[in-house]
Structure 1
Amino acid sequence: MSVPADAAGPPRPEGRDPGLQPERTRLAWRRTTLSCAVVAVLALRQALMAAGGSLGAVAGVAVVALLWLAFLCVAHRRVRELATAQPAALPAGAALAATACTVGLAVFAVALIR
């Protein structure tokens, strides 16, 4: 039995009121950015303490700083977008960048612990 194209989902009114969902999402992005900043600061501290100012520590600090700045840029753009009346969906590139930054910080953390 096939489903007609009209019955694929509930009708969406044109003047849809999104309620507080964009606000909650914006706050979640802010919390995530704060968490990422804390992780970056702790990673920087650990890298400097573990290597004692060696070339590896400087490279690690640079990598962590770049990952944090990239995540900050993605999050700031998304927070600004969510402040509009009709926020667009998160682009795939931005989602991939945020994921890559998060995974990069996690990989760096594992490398520091070992």
Structure 2
Amino acid sequence: MGRVTEPVRDPGLQPERTRLAWRRTTLACAVAASLAGRQTLHAGGGPLPVLALSLVVLSWLAFVAVAHHRIRHLHAPRPPLLTSRAAVAAVGCVMGAAVCGAAMLR
């Protein structure tokens, strides 16, 4: 019997599209953090808006780290799947930024 070989994978443009999606999402998070900073400056500051802004910026930085890690792994010939830990971290960053943003508007 012959040995069964795995067919050669041609990923096409899928890894590039995924990299672009991560970059767009990171840019959208940066815009949201910038708008949160603007809102804090125009609202006159205060402890709660400044704390919320700090958490938004920390969420954005954490998301940048997750996105950079994922983008770096997409350069492999056969990129690994997104781990559940990375997915939970990305969702947590976005949700954290959204909650802090909503707290800033009150």
TM range (shorter): 0.7 to 0.9
Structure 1: gaps spanning 5 or more residues: 1-11
The alignment yields a C-alpha RMSD, in angstroms, of: 1.6
Q: Number of residues paired by the alignment?
A: 102
Structure 2 residue 105 is the aligned partner of structure 1 residue 95: no
Structure 2 residue 18 is the aligned partner of structure 1 residue 25: yes
The one-letter code of the counterpart of 1:31 is R
* Structure-1 residue corresponding to 2:31: 38
Partner deviation per Cα, 1:19-77 (whole Å, 9 max, x = no partner): 11111001100011001100111012112322x23222321221111100000000000
Structure 2 residue 66 is the aligned partner of structure 1 residue 62: no
TM-score (ref. length: structure 2): 0.87
* Structure-1 residue corresponding to 2:67: 75
Distance change >3 Å, CA 112–CA 57, structure 1 → 2: closer
TM-score (ref. length: structure 1): 0.81
Structure 2: gaps spanning 5 or more residues: none
* Structure-2 residue corresponding to 1:6: none
Q: Higher Cα Rg: structure 1 or 2?
A: 1
